[in-house]
């Protein structure tokens, strides 16, 4: 491929809404272009990466015996009503109407459609097991689309669905997928961890997430360095011994004096232990009715990590008076108040600071305490005014680093990850709801045992960048780089020797099946190098007159700090 025939478009600056490095670099490298919130064009350079991700996924899914099909993006609501998800799913499900006022949804996943296919096509146990997959556009009207492709509204997912005749065989199908996922993520060349995830009531232990390790990840992962134990925070908390319960007293009756309360007061008030690395910030909110009567009190507990990194704020909600510990995310708080937490203040002591009419919620600031240093709780705390809005929010944790691992083999460590894949045993949830049965060996109809398996195809490149970049740009693993090799000729327009050597190397690599790009745009070396370092092509060969006189070219891997001289005759072999 020649650059002049391709499309290269790089930018010095990233747009101001690009908060994380992958979003910034993908914009600057011309890989994606924003059309609307969470909606992006995959530009030619970005699409090459996505296609490589898809290809690896496709090869390994096929190898694992799954069969590819493509289901409609727009799906009739009737199927979704059969499982109840049309009503239950909430605003993430995009519902649309056609010209006849009939309801449709834009697929966020496709359990209903694939189960409908199975009930029509898979009639006998002899046709089982079967695993159908697609690599397709999804739409989820995410509350907060952000970070570019990381949390888009329109995105590409590989979704697979297995159908089996009984539980044992379904669990075997699940294991086949879990193994295929390991091969897929190994091939991507990323550092990842498969972690146990919550599978709801049905699934037993059969739900795992594949998390790419990155400091900016939205998820907290709990693992034991001495054993195989690894779980996402939700699951780790579910497994942890029963957590502390807040005291069964009205929190309002124990309002600490603002400005005077200590961490210990707050801990006592809430009945939670305060570890040395955690500080708390608490606020109470009351739901009021039209007559200004309090109908429901809620205590919001915000835990700040000891280092006071506002990006690490955890939010918990302690509902009611006989409070069970139920944790909320900042997103839920935002939902609850109908405004961003940043707008909750100023937390004036005597009056409600915010009344959100349509939700009948008042924020009572009277008992805010925030700990910005040991045993000192601030009043007048106002997020969003002088502090960045807390962004990377995970659920509050009962589980902290240093706790004993549930398997008893060591202590727990916590790191952050990006969920790029999810395998899930579904049981008969969908087949029963949709009356999807096959005839078993005894001639009787039986509901399918199902599993579903997702990979975030467009999230993956973003996760790869979060993990692999430097100040100059992206560093793609070979397997998913837009091009493996870029040839940078110096003065190609002036020198026939350079032109000839560059084109010959290009042709030779193409013939050998190497994904090579020849940069024939005529850019100056500095600009050319900066572009390819930003775009992140792993291997670069620079060809100039000076070197050619000695029969050498320069080779530099994207991770190298300097170029190495290599004989022109040997470079093709070195790269392949």
Let me know: does 45 contact 535? Beta carbons within 8 Å.
yes
- Minimum Å gap between C-beta 396 and Mg ion is 17
* 422 is an interface residue for Mg ion by CB under 5 A: yes
CA distance 469 to 458: 18
In the set 23, 52, 119, 140, which binds ligand ATP (CB under 6 A)? 140
Taking alpha carbons only, the member of 130, 114, 136 closest to residue 58 is 136
Closest residue to Mg ion, Cβ-based? 422
* 142 is an interface residue for ligand ATP by CB under 6 A: yes
* 23 is an interface residue for ligand ATP by CB under 6 A: no
CA distance 574 to 576: 6
Binding letters toward ligand ATP, positions 36-55, x by CB under 6 A: --------------------
* 377 is an interface residue for Mg ion by CB under 5 A: no
CA distance 203 to 187: 28
Please say which residue, 200 or 320, places its beta carbon nearer to Mg ion: 200
CA distance 437 to 435: 6
* 459 is an interface residue for Mg ion by CB under 5 A: no
CA distance 301 to 308: 15
Binding region for ligand ATP (CB under 6 A) out of 229-237, 306-314, 337-345, 450-458: 450-458
- Give the footprint of ligand ATP on residues 382-421 (CB under 6 A): 419-421
Let me know: does 52 contact 117? Beta carbons within 8 Å.
no
Please say which residue, 52 or 140, places its beta carbon nearer to ligand ATP: 140
Residues 6+ apart with CB under 8 A from 236: 222, 399, 412
Q: How many residues bind ligand ATP (CB under 6 A)?
A: 14
Closest residue to ligand ATP, Cβ-based? 456
Q: Using CB distances below 5 to 8 A depending on partner kind, what does residue 436 bind out of ligand ATP, Mg ion, none?
A: none
Sheet containing strand 539-543, strands side by side? 516-518, 485-489, 539-543, 552-557, 564-567
How far is C-alpha 439 from the chain's CA centre? 39
Handedness of CA 95, 98, 102, 108 (dihedral sign): negative
Let me know: does 423 contact 60? Beta carbons within 8 Å.
no
- Minimum Å gap between C-beta 455 and Mg ion is 11
Binding region for ligand ATP (CB under 6 A) out of 10-18, 183-191, 331-339, 456-464: 456-464
Binding region for Mg ion (CB under 5 A) out of 237-245, 416-424, 495-503, 565-573: 416-424
CA distance 552 to 251: 76
In the set 217, 341, 454, 547, which binds ligand ATP (CB under 6 A)? 454
Taking alpha carbons only, the member of 326, 323, 327 closest to residue 248 is 323
- What region, left, alpha or beta, does residue 320 occupy, with left being phi > 0 and alpha being psi -120 to 50 degrees? left
In the set 23, 317, 416, 422, which binds ligand ATP (CB under 6 A)? 422
User: H-type helices in 321-401, by residue range?
Assistant: 330-337
Let me know: does 154 contact 137? Beta carbons within 8 Å.
yes
Please say which residue, 450 or 487, places its beta carbon nearer to ligand ATP: 450
- Give the footprint of ligand ATP on residues 457-516 (CB under 6 A): 458-459
Q: Using CB distances below 5 to 8 A depending on partner kind, what does residue 115 bind out of ligand ATP, Mg ion, none?
A: none
CA distance 14 to 325: 41
* 506 is an interface residue for Mg ion by CB under 5 A: no
Report how far apart the first and last C-alpha atoms of the chain are (Å, whole number).
Answer: 16
Q: Using CB distances below 5 to 8 A depending on partner kind, what does residue 152 bind out of Mg ion, ligand ATP, none?
A: ligand ATP
Binding region for ligand ATP (CB under 6 A) out of 320-328, 378-386, 455-463, 507-515: 455-463
Q: How many CB atoms lie within 10 A of CB 520?
A: 19
Please say which residue, 190 or 490, places its beta carbon nearer to ligand ATP: 190
Please say which residue, 198 or 366, places its beta carbon nearer to Mg ion: 198
* 155 is an interface residue for ligand ATP by CB under 6 A: yes
Contacting residues toward ligand ATP, per CB under 6 A: 140, 142, 151-152, 155, 157, 419-422, 454, 456, 458-459
Contacting residues toward Mg ion, per CB under 5 A: 419, 422
């Amino acid at each position: 491929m020649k650059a002049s025939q391709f499309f290269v478009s790089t930018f010095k600056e990233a747009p101001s809404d690009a908060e994380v490095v992958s979003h910034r670099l993908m914009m600057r490298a011309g890989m994606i272009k924003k059309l609307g919130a969470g909606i992006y064009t995959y530009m030619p350079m970005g699409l090459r990466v996505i296609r490589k991700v898809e290809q690896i996924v496709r090869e390994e899914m096929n190898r694992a015996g799954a069969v590819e099909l493509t289901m409609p993006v727009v799906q009739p609501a009737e199927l979704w009503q059969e499982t109840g998800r049309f009503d239950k799913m909430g605003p993430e499900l995009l519902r649309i109407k056609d010209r006849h006022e009939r309801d449709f949804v834009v697929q966020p996943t496709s359990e209903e459609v694939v189960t409908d296919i199975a009930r029509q096509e898979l009639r006998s146990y002899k046709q089982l097991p079967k695993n159908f997959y697609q690599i397709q556009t999804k739409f989820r009207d995410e509350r907060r689309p952000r970070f570019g492709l990381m949390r888009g509204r329109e995105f590409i997912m590989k979704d697979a669905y297995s159908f089996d005749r009984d539980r044992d065989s379904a669990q075997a199908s699940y294991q086949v997928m879990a193994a295929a996922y390991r091969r897929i993520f190994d091939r991507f060349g990323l550092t990842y961890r498969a972690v146990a995830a919550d599978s709801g009531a049905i699934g037993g232990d059969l739900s795992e997430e594949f998390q790419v390790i990155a400091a900016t990840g939205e998820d907290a992962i709990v693992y034991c360095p001495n054993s195989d134990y690894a779980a996402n925070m939700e699951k780790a908390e579910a497994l942890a011994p029963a957590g502390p319960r807040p005291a069964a007293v009205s929190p309002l009756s124990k309002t600490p004096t603002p400005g005077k309360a200590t961490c210990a007061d707050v801990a006592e008030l809430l009945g939670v232990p305060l570890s040395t690395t955690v500080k708390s910030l608490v606020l109470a909110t009351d739901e009021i009715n039209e007559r200004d009567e309090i109908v429901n009190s809620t205590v919001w507990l915000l835990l700040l990590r000891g280092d006071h990194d506002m990006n690490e704020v955890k939010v918990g909600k302690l509902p009611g008076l006989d409070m069970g510990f139920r944790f909320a995310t900042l997103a839920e708080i935002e939902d609850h108040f109908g405004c961003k937490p940043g707008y909750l203040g100023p937390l004036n002591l005597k009056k409600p600071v915010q009344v959100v009419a349509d939700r009948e919620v008042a924020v009572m600031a009277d008992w805010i305490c925030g700990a910005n240093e040991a045993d000192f709780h601030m009043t007048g705390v106002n997020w969003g005014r002088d502090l960045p809005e807390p962004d990377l929010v995970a659920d509050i944790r009962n589980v902290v680093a240093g706790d004993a691992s549930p398997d008893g083999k060591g202590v727990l460590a916590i790191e952050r990850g990006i969920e790029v894949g999810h395998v899930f045993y579904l049981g008969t949830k969908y087949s029963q709801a949709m009356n999807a049965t096959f005839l078993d060996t005894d001639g009787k109809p039986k509901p399918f045992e199902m599993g579903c398996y997702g990979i975030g195809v467009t999230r993956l490149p973003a996760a790869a960048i979060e993990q692999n970049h430097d100040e100059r740009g992206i560093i793609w693993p070979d397997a998913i780089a837009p091009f493996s090799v870029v040839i940078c000729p110096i003065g190609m327009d002036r020198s026939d020797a350079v032109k000839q050597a560059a084109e010959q190397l290009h042709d030779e690599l193409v013939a050998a099946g190497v994904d090579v790009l020849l940069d024939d745009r005529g850019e100056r070396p500095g600009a050319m190098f900066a572009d390819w370092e930003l775009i992140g092509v792993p291997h670069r060969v620079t060809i100039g007159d000076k070197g050619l006189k000695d029969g050498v070219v320069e080779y530099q891997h994207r991770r190298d700090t300097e170029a190495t001289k290599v004989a022109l005759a040997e470079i093709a072999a070195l790269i392949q």
